[in-house]
Amino acid sequence: MAAEKARVRKLALGRRDGIDPVARAEGSAAISEAVLALDLAPGAAISAFLPILSEVDLTETIARLDERGHPVGLPVMVKSGLVFRRVRPGDALVPLGFGTRGPGPDAPEIIPDVLLMPLTAFDRQGGRVGYGRGFYDRAVADLRAAGRFPRLIGIAFSVQEVAAVPMEPHDAPLDMIVTERNVFRFA
Q: Which residues are annotated as a binding site?
A: 5-9, 50, 55, 128-136
Residues 60 and 33: their CA atoms lie apart, in Å, by 9
> Which residues, in sequence order, are bridge partners of residue 155?
118, 178
Residues 32 and 100: their CA atoms lie apart, in Å, by 20
Angle between helices 59-67 and 21-36 (to 10 degrees): 20
> Which residues, in sequence order, are bridge partners of residue 86?
73
Burial 1-28 (b: 16+ CB within 10 A, else e): eeeebeebbeebbebbeebeeeebeebb
Binding-site residues for ATP sit at 5-9, 128-136
Binding-site residues for substrate sit at 50, 55
Q: Is the dihedral of CA 103, 37, 57, 124 positive or negative?
A: positive
